[in-house]
Structures are given as structure tokens and as C-alpha cells.
Structure 1
Amino acid sequence: MELMANRLAEGAVKEKNIAVTLKKAADTKLDDLLNCNGIAIGSPEYFGTMAGMIKDFFDRTYEAAQKKTIGLPFIVFVCAGNDGRGAITQIERIAAGYKWRKVQEHTRIVGTPTEQNLVDLEELGQVLSAGVDLGIF
């Protein structure tokens, strides 16, 4: 998961006008969410669901951020042993509660990421950054 997040961030930093911060869910605070212009949520899928720390992040920020982050551009990337759809569905439902805006199809990687998967994640990060930078998202 960390490798996937790093590759996505490598793509995001290619847009020079965008500051990119890579954080683990446990270290991400409400202010981080309130001060971002776009967000990529990455999670492994455990037992058909998102990681508990991702849910914890949502629980800690929802009440205070929900009305202040309406329309926030977001993307999701998930790695899974055999499916990944459950984690994506859960994150999408929570994002709908925040009223965030999905700006790209989410990435679901089953098994060990291939080099092509990592290249695709890098491109996804760059797309998110470029869209935010250009005001498209």
C-alpha cells in the first residue's frame, strides 16, 4: 500500500503549482482535510472492507468537515487480495456523505501491484493535481 501511495504522490508532484502532502490516515488531522484542494484516499481491503484507520479518519473529521468540504475532488485507490470492491463502495458512500466529487475512476489492484499498475497510479496522481491546478476539478 505504501508503494502505491508513493507512486501516486510521485505523479502528483509533477504539477509544480501544487503542494502535495502524503500522510497515513492515523496522522491526518481535520486541518489537513480542511486545507486541501483535492484528496486521494488509499486503502487495503481487509475482510471486504476498508482499513480501520481510514474509517477512523472519516469518523474523526466528518462532523466538522462535512459542510466545509462540499465538492472536494477525490479519488480512491485500493489494493486487495481477491476483490477490493467492498472497500471502494464503502469509501464512495462516505465520500457521498461529505458531498465530495469523484473526478476519476477509482483504481482497484488485486494481488501484488505490477509495474503497469504503479505507472497507472502515477498518472492518476498527476491527473488529480493537474485538474486541481487548472481549476477543472
Structure 2
Amino acid sequence: MTLKRLLIVAHAPSANLRRMCAALLEGARAAEIEGVETQTLGAFEARSEDVMAADGVILLTPENLGYMSGAVKDFFDRCYYPCLERTQGLPYALCIRAGSDGTGTRLGVERIVTGLRWRAIGEPLICRGEWREDFVGECRDLGMLMAAGLEAGVF
């Protein structure tokens, strides 16, 4: 069996964002999922080669001034043109830690991935407002959903 590759690209400068990132990874590596290998890279570390080697991507960003983090924007700036013709149809999921509503962050990411012609696996997970412990479980569920969908060939 050929393993699918899931890439998590995260900007997680706070303890809570690191917990969310760890939960995404934990869900993606659930015992029930055997056919997916997962790699987590910081947004400043991830390269276009990493994206092109992936079968799916999860993006994690905080909402910064009503937009994605500068690190995630930097990731897209470096990867956009090398990936443009080579990653069309790539399934992705978006997770936003939003202090307010996350709308500007969502729109900014969606504009870029629309240009790349990536395919969302569902609505973005937007963890809004004050920190809640259930954000961790929601991230775990998203990681598991993405990995299980890749393994099953749904995405």
C-alpha cells in the first residue's frame, strides 16, 4: 500500500496554538489511520517542495489584525508560483484561531487557494473568541477527518 502524505503548515506562536497544532497532528496520526504519513512544518519552514510532495494540506493560522499571520502569508508568497501549475486540486483544510470573527483571515486564505485551485474538504474550522478547551478536540477531529479522507481516497 502506498502511503498518502499529509502536510500540516502552522504558525503557532502561542501555547494555545501549539496545542491546536499538536491536536491536528494527533488526530491525523490516530491508530485507526494506517495509510497516511504526516509532517508538521512551521509556516516559515515549509517549502514548495513540501507542498508538491503532499497529497493534502492543513493550514493553521492565528487571526492577526483581521488577516492570516505574516508567517502564513510568507509561506504563500514563497510557494505560490512554484506550486501554481503543479498542485491544482490539492485537498486542503483551514484552521483559524480567531480573537474576533476570523472573516478577514478566511477570505485572505481563500483568495490565495482559489488562485492555486486547491480544493477545500469542508468549511474552515474557525475557533472564535475567548479560548475554550473544546478547540483542541475540534482540531483533533479535523486532523483525523483529513487523514481518514486521504487514506480512503475521498479527498
SS at match of 2:141: helix
Query: How far, CA to CA, are the matches of 1:34 and 1:112 in structure 2?
Result: 36
Task: Using structure 2 for the length normalisation, give the TM-score.
Answer: 0.85
Q: For residues 8 and 113 of structure 1, do their structure 2 counterparts lie closer, same or farther at Cα, with a shift above 3 Å needed?
A: farther
CA distance in 1, matches of 2:61, 2:40: 13
Greater share of strand: 2
Q: CA deviation at 1:88?
A: 1.0
Asked if 1:6 is matched to 2:22, the reply is yes
- Work out the percentage of aligned pairs sharing the same amino acid: 32
Q: Helix, strand or coil: the match of 1:21?
A: strand
State the alpha-carbon separation in 2 of the partners of residues 92 and 3 from structure 1: 24
Normalization by structure 1: what TM-score? 0.95
2:152 counterpart of 1:134: yes
Unaligned residue ranges in structure 2 (runs of 5+): 1-16
RMSD of aligned C-alpha atoms? 1.0
Match of 1:72 among 66, 90, 95: 90
| Greater fraction helix | 1
Structure-1 residue corresponding to 2:108: 90
- The reply to whether residue 121 of structure 1 matches residue 150 of structure 2 is no
SS of the aligned residue for 1:114 comes to coil
Indicate the residue corresponding to 1:108 in structure 2: 126
Instruction: State the Cα distance separating 1:29 from its structure 2 match.
Output: 1.1
Amino acid at match of 1:117: F
Instruction: Name segments (4+ residues, structure 1) moved above 4 Å.
Output: none
User: Deviation of residue 2 (structure 1)?
Assistant: 1.5
SS in 1 for 2:63: strand
Aligned residues: 137
**C-alpha deviations, 1:92-131, integer Å up to 9, x for none?**
1101011000002111112344222211111111110011
